């Protein structure tokens, strides 16, 4: 009969050895084929030509970001980017995907402001 703490130790060892590999595979897949989901509730606004509506407002967005954006986020994170830099990368991704719809609208949009983050979650 195994000692009571053996199962816990075995579980920890498996996680130590396998979890990083599983995580690495999931990140690689997100960065190459699947992309990443961003779910946020934050103040979003943008810089645009005079006369357009660019007022910041709290929005709740759940957006699928293509692999190129996932790759940029993971790369920056691995290089030790600050939260502010990761926030900028996320804002650039939201600009392209959400506001500009991959180039189908809002082409003159200059910069997206992503502030007052109440909630921010990424999902693979």
* pLDDT tens, per residue, the chain with 124 residues: 444 455 566 667 667 666 777 778 888 888 888 889 999 999 888 776 665 556 788 999 999 999 999 999 999 988 988 888 888 999 999 988 988 877 677 666 677 888 888 888 888 7
DSSP state of 66: P
Give the span between the Cα atoms of 114 and 86, in whole angstroms. 11
Q: Which residues form the domain of 79? A: 4-123
Cα separation, 23 vs 78, whole angstroms = 13
The structure's pTM equals 0.73
Q: What's the number of domains the chain is made of?
A: 1
Q: In whole angstroms, what is the distance from residue 43 CA to residue 20 CA?
A: 34
């Amino acid at each position: 009969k195994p000692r009571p703490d053996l199962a816990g130790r075995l579980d920890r060892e498996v996680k130590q050895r396998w979890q990083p590999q599983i995580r690495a595979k999931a990140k690689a897949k997100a960065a190459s084929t699947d992309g990443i989901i961003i779910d946020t509730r934050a103040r979003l606004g943008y810089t645009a030509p005079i006369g357009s509506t660019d007022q910041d407002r709290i929005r709740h967005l759940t957006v699928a970001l293509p692999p190129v954006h996932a790759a940029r986020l993971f790369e920056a994170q691995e290089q030790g980017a600050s939260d502010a830099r990761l926030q900028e990368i996320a804002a650039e991704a939201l600009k392209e995907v959400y506001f500009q719809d991959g180039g189908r609208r809002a082409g003159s949009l200059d910069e997206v402001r992503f502030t007052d983050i109440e909630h921010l979650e990424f999902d693979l």
